[in-house]
Amino acid sequence: MEESSRRKSSRRRDKDPFCVIHKVPSGDSPYVRAKHAQLVEKDHEAAIVLFWKAINAGDKVDSALKDMAVVMKQLNRAEEAIEAIKSFRGLCSKQAQEPLDNVLIDLYKKCGRMDEQIDLLKQKLRLIYQGEAFNGKATKTARSHGKKFQVSIKQETSRILGNLGWAYMQKSKFMAAEVVYKKAQMIDPDANKACNLARCLIKQARNIEAHLVLNEVLEGKLSGSEDWKAQNRAQELMLEVEPKWRPPLGFDLEDGFINELDKLLNESVSLRTKRLPIFEEISSCEN
């Protein structure tokens, strides 16, 4: 154990201080040069050329393809990034497929390709149900703004449902969005999804229900309620709410998918051994 710790400590000391400071890998391979161009020189066009070279050379293809797509998005070349992922993801490992899907979802969102975004989000939900998300593990390590943190299946399910609700809202399918947001709030409630749920209810002229949802944000009962942006948004939505009931607008629900999702959440006892705990939790809330 002590010998292992000494070896790790020695490797850290041997690392190039420049690479440590700028968070770039060391060496002179195409991928390393691409990361240097991206993070140090801030030359994104040059980085894309070098990422392509890395992919063609088989040099860290998993990372090169994902990083190149992210840089392309920053340069408003999202459509090109989508085609690159679709064309070359077959060269990547099984472990790289989920991160690539996450990048694709962001790219579809940026391009307004809502149908493809919705299909991919549904696919990710089915993988969670089948126990195949996170490569079969209960948690995964995620990174945001340079910091690593653990994400649970429960949190990931709620996040995906929230994204699916948003996509339905962009297509003005407010009933479908409402169903999805309510399921997300059962799992991991927060102020942002609550405001989106209230928006869905307002669009259906269900203002009394929207008023109740928004009150939870304004009274600080949900995670993220303390954020001034959430408070401002809830107050703005509250101004749209009239204290009276009106019949709902047209019923526009993707019956096939919602019925399928409900079926997954309410499987017979014979299939319960296959079910993840989070789906048991949703099912018990519905029954």
Q: Tens-digit pLDDT profile for the chain (287 aa)?
A: 445 544 444 444 445 554 544 455 667 899 999 998 999 899 999 999 999 999 999 999 999 999 999 999 999 999 999 999 999 999 999 989 989 999 999 999 999 999 999 999 999 999 888 888 777 777 887 776 667 778 888 899 999 999 999 999 999 999 999 999 999 999 999 999 999 999 999 999 999 999 999 999 999 999 999 999 999 999 999 999 865 545 455 545 565 666 666 665 555 334 444 444 444 443 444 44
Q: How many helices (H) and strands (E) does the chain have?
A: 15, 2
Q: How big, in percent rounded to 5, are the helix, strand and coil portions of the chain?
A: 70, 5, 25
Give the single-character DSSP code of 250: -
Cβ atoms of 268 and 250 closer than 8 Å: no
What pLDDT is stored for residue 78 in this prediction? 97
- pLDDT for the residue numbered 242: 61
pLDDT of residue 257: 62
Q: What is the pLDDT, as a whole number, of residue 134?
A: 76
Give residue 141's pLDDT: 77
Name residue, tokens 């962001």.
106
Burial of 115 (0-12, 13-18, 19+ CB in 10 A): exposed
**pTM for this entry:** 0.73
Q: Got the DSSP string for 177-231?
A: HHHHHHHHHHHS-BHHHHHHHHHHHHHTT-HHHHHHHHHHHHTT-SBTTTSHHHH
